[in-house]
Structure formats: structure tokens, C-alpha cells
């Protein structure tokens, strides 16, 4: 009889998982906590830290996580093209747009970033707002908002990103420095307690410039962007004033927003 057989049930050593089961367990932990430590995983799974590092390397090669010094995080968000995104979560985005335009007053200057959700906002602005000046680097935003003849549209110069239908680059950022803006309305690829980020680094620089020129920054986001890490952080949570969403954030993100006194508006459908 082995020592394990004679030990109390609560003290018996758990059988080690094979490689596939161990990696499934790592991914389950990733879904639960978003950030993992090599030492914690090694202790939990009763294997060496080198084994865990090899597992993390394998999972990163498959695009299932991103390794960090001492652990791993969820993979950085990469978004489908803006054309593809326009077909997703339409009802949620329309609700967010309807809630967002209530904060806009006549005679204001509004900077609007590129994206599917912000285009929904622009379309609603064209229907419900009047006597505005809109500054944008997005061709879809400019096209839909210009349907309202009382809205003047200023298009930013720059290098054209055909995938996203937007202008980016040094010229775009420099151009924005010439304007004072009442409100910047910006989308995100991901929002975490660490900040707001975009999958396109050049776009992130434009959003930061818009935010810095605005008296108020309104971020519009569906709930699938919560706790998602993306490539380029363009703002920290305390930098924004309002978040308009289709569902209330929870957990660490909700606490970060509350600490920063960000006004969270949940749109009703």
C-alpha cells in the first residue's frame, strides 16, 4: 500500500494532468482571471515552472494567450475590419448611439473617432442634432453626419488607412491641435482597469489627440470590449469623463471607473 493510499482523503496527492488537460486548465484560469503567474500555475498544477513556461509558449504559438515576464495575459485584441464590424451588434450600437446624442448641445464642436459604434452615433446625430461642427478622421462618420445640412464637417488630413476608412499619422495629429473641442466621442478595441486601447496604434494616437483637445471625452463601447487588452493604450480611466455602454461593467473595471468618478450610462434597448 502506498503512502498516498494510507493518507487521509483530503491529503491524497491529486493525479497530474497530461499536457492537453493541463493546457485546457491554464486557458480556463485565463478566462477567469485574465492575468496568470508561472509560479502560481506550477503550484496549482503540481509541475515545474519550466513545464508551465513550455505550456505558455505552446499556447502563445496558437494565439491563445500572450506571454509576459513571469506569466501570461489574455491575447491582445485584433478586430475585424470596420466594414465587418458594422454588421455586428447593431441593436446594441444603436442603443448606445441614442443614449450618447442626448449629451450633445447645439453650437458645440464635436470630435468623432473612427469605428462602427461611432458611425452609429454620427448617424443618430444627423437625425437628431443641429447646428454642430464635427471634426473627424473617419470617412464613414463624415458621410453619414453630413446628411444633416446644419452640421459642418471638418475632415482631418493624413495617411489613408483603407481597412478602417480613416486618416491617421503625424499630419492628422498636428491638424487636431488647431481646434478647441467641446466633446470627443471615441470608441475602443478594449477597456481594462489599465486603460482604453485600440488595435491600431496610429488610430490610438489620433484618439489621444482628440481627447486632449476636448473639454469632455465620451467613450462608447459595447460590453464585449470590457476586460479586453488591445495593442495601444491611448487613455487611462481617469482621463475620460463618460462611458456609454449597452451593459454595466462589473468587477475590477467597474471599481476602476467608480474610483475615477467616470459617469457610466447604460443604454436601454
Q: Name the 3-class secondary structure at 35.
A: strand
Write down which residue in 22, 49, 73 finishes a domain: 73
**207 neighbors 198 (Cβ within 8 angstroms):** yes
Domain end call among 50, 73, 96: 73
**Domain region containing 65:** 3-73
Domain end among 73, 91, 119: 73
Distance between CA atoms of residues 58 and 64, nearest Å: 9
Strands 132-136, 151-155: pairing kind: parallel
Q: Are both 27 and 106 inside the same structural domain?
A: no
Q: What's the confidence (pLDDT) of residue 84?
A: 56
Q: What is the DSSP letter of 75?
A: P
Judgement on whether residues 62 and 98 belong to the same structural domain of the protein? no
Report the candidate in 112, 113, 115, 111 with the shortest Cα–Cα distance to residue 79: 115
Do 137 and 31 reside in the same domain of the chain?
no
The answer to whether residues 68 and 86 belong to one domain is no
Residues 99 and 44 in one domain: no
- Our count of domains for the chain comes to 2
Note whether 127 and 181 are same-domain residues. Answer: yes
Say how many C-beta atoms besides its own lie within 10 A of residue 78's C-beta: 11
pLDDT at residue number 79: 53
pLDDT tens-digit profile, the chain (269 residues): 444 444 444 444 567 889 999 999 998 887 666 678 899 899 999 999 999 999 998 888 877 777 877 888 776 655 555 555 555 678 899 999 999 999 999 999 999 999 999 999 999 999 999 999 999 999 999 999 999 999 999 999 999 998 889 999 999 999 999 999 999 999 999 999 999 999 889 999 999 999 999 999 999 999 989 998 888 999 999 999 999 999 999 999 999 999 999 999 999 87
Question: Is there a single domain that holds both residue 24 and residue 95?
Answer: no
Q: What is the pTM of this model?
A: 0.71
Amino acid at each position: 500500500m502506498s503512502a498516498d493510499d494510507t493518507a487521509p482523503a483530503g491529503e491524497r496527492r491529486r493525479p497530474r494532468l497530461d499536457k492537453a488537460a493541463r493546457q485546457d486548465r491554464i486557458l480556463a484560469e485565463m478566462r477567469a482571471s485574465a492575468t496568470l503567474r508561472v509560479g502560481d500555475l506550477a503550484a496549482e498544477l503540481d509541475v515545474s515552472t519550466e513545464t508551465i513556461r513550455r505550456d505558455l509558449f505552446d499556447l502563445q504559438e496558437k494565439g491563445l494567450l500572450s506571454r509576459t515576464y513571469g506569466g501570461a495575459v489574455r491575447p491582445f485584441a485584433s478586430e475585424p475590419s470596420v466594414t465587418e464590424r458594422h454588421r455586428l451588434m447593431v441593436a446594441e450600437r444603436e442603443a448606445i448611439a441614442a443614449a450618447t446624442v442626448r449629451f450633445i448641445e447645439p453650437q458645440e464642436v464635436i470630435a468623432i473617432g473612427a469605428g462602427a459604434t461611432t458611425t452609429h452615433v454620427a448617424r443618430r446625430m444627423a437625425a437628431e442634432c443641429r447646428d454642430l461642427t464635427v471634426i473627424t478622421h473617419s470617412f464613414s462618420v463624415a458621410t453619414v453626419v453630413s446628411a444633416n445640412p446644419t452640421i459642418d464637417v471638418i475632415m482631418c488630413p493624413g495617411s489613408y488607412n483603407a481597412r478602417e476608412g480613416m486618416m491617421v499619422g503625424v499630419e492628422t495629429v498636428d491638424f487636431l491641435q488647431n481646434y478647441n473641442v467641446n466633446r470627443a466621442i471615441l470608441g475602443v478595441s478594449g477597456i481594462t482597469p489599465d486603460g482604453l486601447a485600440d488595435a491600431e496604434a496610429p488610430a490610438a494616437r489620433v484618439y489621444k489627440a482628440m481627447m486632449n483637445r476636448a473639454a469632455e471625452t465620451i467613450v462608447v463601447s459595447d460590453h464585449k470590449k470590457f476586460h479586453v487588452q488591445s495593442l495601444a493604450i491611448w487613455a487611462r480611466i481617469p482621463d475620460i469623463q463618460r462611458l456609454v455602454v449597452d451593459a454595466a461593467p462589473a468587477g475590477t473595471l467597474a471599481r476602476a471607473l467608480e474610483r475615477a468618478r467616470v459617469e457610466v450610462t447604460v443604454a436601454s434597448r
